[in-house]
Amino acid sequence: MSANLIDGKQAAKEIRIGLRKEVAALKEKGVAPGLAVILAGSDPASQIYVANKEKACEKVGIASQTIRMPETVTQAELLAEIERLNTDPAIHGILLQLPIYKHLNEREALLAIRPEKDVDGFHPINAGKLFLGEKAPVACTPAGCMELLRRAGVPLSGKRAVVIGRSNIVGKPMSMLLLAANCTVTMCHSRTVDLPSVTREADILVAAIGRPRFVTADMVKEGAAVIDVGINRLEDGSICGDVDYDAVAGKAGWITPVPGGVGPMTIAMLLVNTVEAAKAALNA
Ligand code: NAD
């Protein structure tokens, strides 16, 4: 059997086309969705992510601004900037690009973002709402994975889902979203005993580990939907996922590639969250 390829690039493009219309309609009602990205760190990858976010905003008509803070920035200055954006009516979404400079307090900074402007879904209030099954901005990567599963028509209700990884930004929210979709969910992590025996039970298998080609074909049930969140840079500079794609594609029912799977969806969901925040501001 050869798996159906789940094309995240194409899905993200379709989402952007829909958003462009929504943004135009909002502008007619007097609300121009705005996103502020705060870059207060020196990670080279962050520069690329921020540039990609700017480009994506431009494509759908969201006004984006990037606030670049120097390494000398103090925690007080960062918090003051967040507060300025919290009260700016032209800004509907605030994103603090992680990681931030080591001398800054990330947790305090994330807490300072108003939950209704927290388009990354990292604020404890929004994480708590997800846990309670209430509507709130959801972390973009797991939200993107769910969107891919739905668009591919993967049956979810009553199915066994296994998530490998328990981070606050991917594994945990992913598990909550699958639970909300009526899956029977198991969360696995580095201490899980006999991981393959658990993953082989999965109708839906999500890998969010950060280890190149960790999920091998013998860990996958025939016909399963395999979602690969991992982004691993290899020594030759190329990128691969957490799933041994070539081997698993021959066994799975559906599979996401890396690159071109979950990655493009993360930014698409950031745009969705920003437009949703703008809509909420209009109705407030
Ligand atoms: P993390 O390091 O915070 O978490 C990794 C998780 O994997 C941990 O919970 C750990 O328990 C688990 N793990 C580690 N070794 C394991 C093992 N041997 N067996 C079972 N579980 C094991 O990472 P993260 O932030 O959740 O990211 C995971 C991966 O997803 C990374 O490759 C990251 O680059 C990628 N990522 C991609 C996107 C995207 O847009 N596609 C977004 C966020 C993260």
* Tens of pLDDT, residues 206-218: 999 999 999 999 9
Is ligand 1 within 6 A of the CB of residue 79? no
1-60 per-position pLDDT tens digit: 689 999 999 999 999 999 999 999 999 999 999 999 999 999 998 999 999 999 999 999
Q: Quick check: 67 pLDDT over 70? A: yes
Is ligand 1 within 6 A of the CB of residue 210? yes
Residue 83 lies in a domain: yes
Spacing, Cα 189 to ligand 1 middle (Å): 9
Read off the pLDDT band of 86 (50, 70, 90): very high
CB 198 within 8 A of CB 204: no
What is the reported pLDDT for 1? 65
User: What's the mean pLDDT in 50-79?
Assistant: 97
Residue 251 lies in a domain: yes
139-174 per-position pLDDT tens digit: 999 999 999 999 999 999 999 999 999 999 999 999
Catalytic residue (choose from 7, 117, 118, 120): 120
Read off the pLDDT band of 201 (50, 70, 90): very high
Based on the fold, state whether residues 69 and 146 are members of the same structural domain.
Answer: no
What is the reported pLDDT for 174? 98
Residue 5 lies in a domain: no
Residue 269 lies in a domain: no
Query: What is the Cα–Cα distance from 157 to 227, expressed in whole angstroms?
Result: 17
First-to-final CA distance of the chain: 51
Q: Is 117 a residue of the active site?
A: no
Is ligand 1 within 6 A of the CB of residue 232? yes
Spacing, Cα 242 to ligand 1 middle (Å): 9
237-252 per-position pLDDT tens digit: 999 999 999 999 999 9
CATH of the domain at 165: 3.40.50.720
Number of domains the chain is built from: 2
Based on the fold, state whether residues 145 and 110 are members of the same structural domain.
Answer: no
Residue to probe by mutation, ligand 1, list 187, 211, 227, 229, most atoms within 8 Å of CB:
229
User: What's the mean pLDDT in 115-129?
Assistant: 97
Based on the fold, state whether residues 43 and 93 are members of the same structural domain.
Answer: yes
Residue 240 lies in a domain: yes
**In the chain, what percentage of residues exceed pLDDT 70?**
100
Q: Quick check: 122 pLDDT over 90? A: yes
What is the reported pLDDT for 110? 97
Is ligand 1 within 6 A of the CB of residue 188? yes
List the domain range (segments joined by +) for residue 88: 31-114
What is the reported pLDDT for 153? 98
Q: What is the 3-state secondary structure (H, E, C) of the chain?
A: CCCEECCHHHHHHHHHHHHHHHHHHHHHCCCCCEEEEEECCCCHHHHHHHHHHHHHHHHHCCEEEEEECCCCCCHHHHHHHHHHHHCCCCCCEEEEECCCCCCCCHHHHHHHCCHHHECCCCCHHHHHHHHHCCCCCCCHHHHHHHHHHHHHCCCCCCCEEEEECCCCCCHHHHHHHHHHCCCEEEEECCCCCCHHHHHCCCCEEEECCCCCCCECHHHCCCCCEEEECCCEECCCCCEECCECHHHHHCCCCEECCCCCCHHHHHHHHHHHHHHHHHHHHHHC
What is the reported pLDDT for 2? 83
Catalytic residue (choose from 97, 203, 221, 251): 97
What is the reported pLDDT for 206? 99
Residue 274 lies in a domain: no
Residue 273 lies in a domain: no
What is the reported pLDDT for 283? 83
Q: Is 53 a residue of the active site?
A: yes
